A and B are shown apart, each in its own frame.
Chain A
């Protein structure tokens, strides 16, 4: 369970670039909730995810994961609760290291890293089996450097790494935005499968309204650092893109300003 209570974040306070990115967001995710997050450019989607991940401390408010107050924990200490996939396929993996080494790093997330072997032969077999389920042909390239993989392969690998140890929450930050449509669809399918298989609590940012509607059991829309729409259950299943655009204009009094979102 994730509980975010009234968090605020302002970037560059007191300067000409001051930006009130989060303006009192409260959000509670129940176990196995799959929430999609949409919103225009600069609405605070990624900021919300980064606040949860602990990229920087929030100005005020409280963040709890499974009843544990993590507000004061830096990113690397929160990592044990969270699996993350980023927008840029380069961000989630270490290019200079082998596929199996990347997986081994992820398998040790949240544990102390001592002088035991960084990877054991038993693990290698396990990773091989796991990669087979992705059908990317990576199971025979375990010792290849990750830098040699395509963007889609790297995102799929990052997804596997994020869930290798079951996280309390899976945070997906537009993780298919940099991929071509076909690859994006494959990665989304893999996401759905992994989320379902492991019963993960998930927060997925997307700029694609259709994806936001098609995936998950709940949808929230952000604008100017606030949640302006929160739809779940049956109501979400009946939702259309037109509904969303209409609701956005109704609630915010502006036109939805994300070209990509409208076009897709």
Chain B
């Protein structure tokens, strides 16, 4: 900013000036610079100005995308009806608690045995601070949030091929990785090995920053001592009284850190989607669905399986079956917002353009498996001082996530014992649910030996076996994105698609919400334009 924000001129005045002289884009960029905006497709609550004059919209699917569309279109004066296959609102946004029963494709039924208050979120489980659309609806719909502990320095990184399979604390690995990188770079800087890449003056600053960032000692070395132990942890931490003197720990050497592969966990934790602050709804992700249900649930018809979608110049018709009674029914409207996942939609007869038809068939769905395990006590807290956060492992369960609620509570605790994908998720799912859980127990007990004595019960959700979706989320790559994405999102006659599959935020609720808002905004323009 060349103009200082001086006396008598507020930031808002300045932004107004920029907006007047240079247009909205410049103002937006200036706002970002001033730290007041974050680049996001969510532009605040949607305004659908203009009278839709009784226009009707049929919405297929009552996940967060369908519910966002239903809520906002009904507010704007549309006649809205929503058809939902499940016996509940929310789609993948759900929570499994004690007493809940579900049947997967193939017929295996599980009844969750968790104690009251315990739960897992088998679908979405985190809400990053910058998912502005979802954050907006949480605030508006009264969905209470609490912090999700993503990064916990005291959780583990585990590699069966490193340290004899002994898990390492995340904080120690990160500290040693940063420390050794800092030492190496400091050495190169001092030897003028960086050449013209840096000025002498900046080189001096760089050295000072490396000492600070990497916890280097006065000789610019990352070695055993107070500096490194203050990052990676002590053999015996500082205390009070006669036994107070701390004992520093031994850092791993650079070779060990690199060969362990454990540095992988660091990048994942600092990606934008996983940075603190990151949230979860108090009591489970289903509270997002419940919030939408309070606001627009009266528009939803449950247990309705769509079997055909037809459109012509005057409107859209959906044939559906009431899955409780078997009754065949039809719903009609002027327009349709279709938020059915592509796995299912690609199997439903529908007259759309060849371009949209091809796009619907071009997005394979990722498999994914989550397993919730209940134990007699919170041994991860009591024995290992791990309060929330995630352990990552090369074992097929991939992750163990400790509950970010109910710290120190007595009695049974539930953790997420597996969150996996890829080849493992198919291989695991070919086993009956009880054997899947048994496998996850075997793997997890290599990290937490307490598993064996403390296990009570578990539930497993294999997303490709979930009857309403047959997969976890749409997988885009450079090729299908280039060939099909725009076609997928275009209004086709009187039908427009919405859902995380019609977004660049795949696999997150924010994708569903922003795609729905984008779709209904365009649809509304058509309607009011006549």
Q: Does B associate with A?
A: no
